[in-house]
Amino acid sequence: MNDDLKPLFEHLRESEHAATPAWHARFLRAPAPEPRWAPRIAFAAVLACGAAFWLLRPAAPSLADFPPLLDSEPRELFASLDTPSTDFLLPTHLTIHLP
């Protein structure tokens, strides 16, 4: 027999029914669909920003704008090979005499 439990649940039911939030017809109103143009506008805005950054980006400096750092004086190619080498750093007793 459930005579002891049933009234307890009945009491709980009444107590909770009294605290139930009121019924509103809006409960059954479907939420408005999200506007479909919103993602398109967002995409266009991102695209426009990208284009603006591309167009307004600072121009890359050309090589001609850099100052010459390693330019040497113009002279004849391999000219240094024609000048005789010297052995002035060798000690005198080590001077080699070729026959």
Partner 1 sequence: MDSATAASLESLHPDAFGWSLHCCGGDAGRAEDVLQNAYLKVAAERVRFDGRSAFKTWWFGVIRLTALEEHRRARFRESLLGKLLASFTEEHHPSLSRQLERDEQAAQLRAALEKLPARQAETLHLVFYQDLTLNEASQVMRVSLGSVRQHYERGKARLRELLQTSPGHE
- Residues contributing to the site for partner 1 (CB under 8 A): 2, 4-6, 8-9, 11-13, 15-17, 19-21, 23, 25, 27-31
Q: Which stretches within the chain are classed as H helix?
A: 5-18, 37-56, 79-82
- Minimum gap (Å) between residue 12 Cβ and partner 1: 5
- Minimum gap (Å) between residue 35 Cβ and partner 1: 16
Nearer to partner 1, 1 or 69 (CB): 1
Helix, strand and coil percent figures for the chain, each rounded to 5: 50, 0, 50
Nearer to partner 1, 21 or 84 (CB): 21
Contact 95, 87 (CB under 8 A): yes
